[in-house]
DNA sequence: CGCCAGGCTAGCG
DNA sequence: CGCTAGCATGGC
């Protein structure tokens, strides 16, 4: 086991994990989207990770590679360089002041995919609840450093679940998305090839999966495949565009998202997440 | 009770 | 193509 203390700058672990972008992380005690201890866990390549932050020190206990964990938390990039790449923008500046240190995570593809298949018409804390139920029902329980944790199932493990069994977990019509998408994944889909594709092609590829539309595709590409140009438009992001960038608002998803991408540039996904979180927290007007 | 929540697919014109 | 009804569930 590796136990390491990493010096980090311009990083806020709690803001990063509780801003609404990820459902794969959990708290060792309490609910990710509720109250609890600010000690978090996850898995990479089935290997457990526990991490917490004290000031500029990030503590990590893991059986996985430390560099992999740092990448998963978005620490491989300079946050200052990313913000330098943005145009001068009063709204983003306001969000930056409140949320500085929030980074875009890089979750594993499959858990990220399933979490966002669960997301349509659903509040964020409930998405996490459903995600946990799937992990508890179909994933392995692992004890690491005296903490009992549930690993999220692999595609093979989850493919064994029938649509009806999934419905019994209370996921509603999203059961069909998971049932059909796990079948497509096992038969005719190569997640590892996505990163080599252009953003446009990767988005088209993602939409072959049942239950993946424009918005969900953008979230998965941004939060798990490093497509930082993706600008997901959910209800909050749409409201923010209408209110603060009316001239960039078009009447369809693709055009509006493209307008925002052109305005903020190659890291527009970062701008989106700051604005999204600020909007949801009531830090900016809508 | 109605409305809404990190939207999607199918089926219409 | 673009547009929209229907979709499960729970909290307010």
pLDDT of residue A240: 95
Mean pLDDT of A25-42: 97
Total length of chain A: 286
Over pLDDT 70: what percentage of chain A?
Answer: 100
CB of A124 within 7 Å of some strand C atom = no
CB of A124 within 7 Å of some strand B atom = yes
pLDDT of residue A242: 93
Contact assessment for residue A207 and residue A218, using Cβ atoms and an 8 Å cutoff: no
Mean pLDDT of A216-231: 98
Could you tell me the distance in Å between the CA of residue A277 and the C1' of nucleotide C2? 31
Give nearest nucleotide to A275 (CA–C1').
B6
Mean per-residue pLDDT over chain A, rounded: 97
CB of A216 within 7 Å of some strand B atom = yes
Instruction: For residue A82, give the 3-state DSSP assignment.
Output: helix
How far apart, in whole angstroms, are the C-alpha atoms of residue A177 and residue A22? Answer: 19
Give nearest nucleotide to A255 (CA–C1').
C2
Mean pLDDT of A165-193: 97
Say if residue A1's pLDDT is above 80. no
Could you tell me the distance in Å between the CA of residue A221 and the C1' of nucleotide B4? 27
CB of A213 within 7 Å of some strand B atom = yes
Could you tell me the distance in Å between the CA of residue A19 and the C1' of nucleotide C8? 26
Give nearest nucleotide to A123 (CA–C1').
B5
- Count of CB atoms situated within 10 Å of the CB of A35: 8
Say if residue A166's pLDDT is above 90. yes
Say if residue A202's pLDDT is above 80. yes
> Tell me: the pLDDT tens digits for A93-134?
999 999 999 999 999 999 999 999 999 999 999 999 999 999
CB of A276 within 7 Å of some strand B atom = yes
Angle made by CA atoms A229, A230, A234, in degrees to the nearest 5: 145
Give nearest nucleotide to A254 (CA–C1').
C2
Contact assessment for residue A116 and residue A106, using Cβ atoms and an 8 Å cutoff: no
pLDDT of residue A2: 77
Q: Helix %, strand %, coil % for chain A, to 5? A: 50, 15, 40
């Amino acid at each position: 086991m590796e136990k390491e203390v990493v010096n980090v700058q311009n990083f806020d672990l709690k803001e990063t994990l509780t801003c609404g972008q990820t459902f794969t992380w959990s708290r060792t005690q309490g609910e990710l989207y509720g109250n609890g201890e600010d000690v978090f866990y996850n898995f990479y390549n089935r290997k457990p990770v526990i991490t917490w932050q004290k000031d500029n020190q990030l503590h990590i206990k893991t059986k996985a590679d430390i560099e992999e964990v740092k990448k998963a938390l978005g620490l491989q990039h300079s946050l200052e360089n990313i913000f330098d790449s943005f145009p001068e923008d009063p709204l983003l500046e306001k969000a930056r002041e409140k949320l500085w240190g929030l980074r875009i995570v890089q979750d594993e593809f499959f858990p990220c995919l399933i979490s966002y298949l669960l997301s349509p018409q659903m509040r964020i804390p409930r998405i996490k609840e459903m995600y946990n139920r799937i992990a508890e029902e179909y994933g392995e329980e692992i004890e690491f450093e005296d903490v009992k944790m549930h690993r999220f199932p692999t595609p093979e493990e989850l493919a064994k679940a029938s649509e009806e069994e999934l419905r019994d977990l209370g996921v509603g019509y999203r059961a069909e998305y998971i049932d059909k998408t796990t079948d497509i994944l096992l038969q005719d889909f190569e997640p590892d090839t996505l990163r080599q594709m252009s953003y446009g092609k990767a988005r088209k590829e993602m939409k072959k999966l049942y239950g993946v539309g424009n918005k969900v595709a953008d979230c998965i590409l941004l939060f798990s495949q490093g497509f930082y140009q993706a600008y997901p438009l959910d209800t909050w992001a749409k409201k923010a565009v209408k209110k603060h960038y009316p001239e960039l608002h078009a009447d369809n998803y693709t055009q509006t998202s493209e307008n925002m991408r052109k305005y903020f540039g190659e890291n527009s996904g970062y701008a989106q997440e700051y604005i999204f979180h600020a909007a949801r927290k009531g830090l900016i007007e809508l």
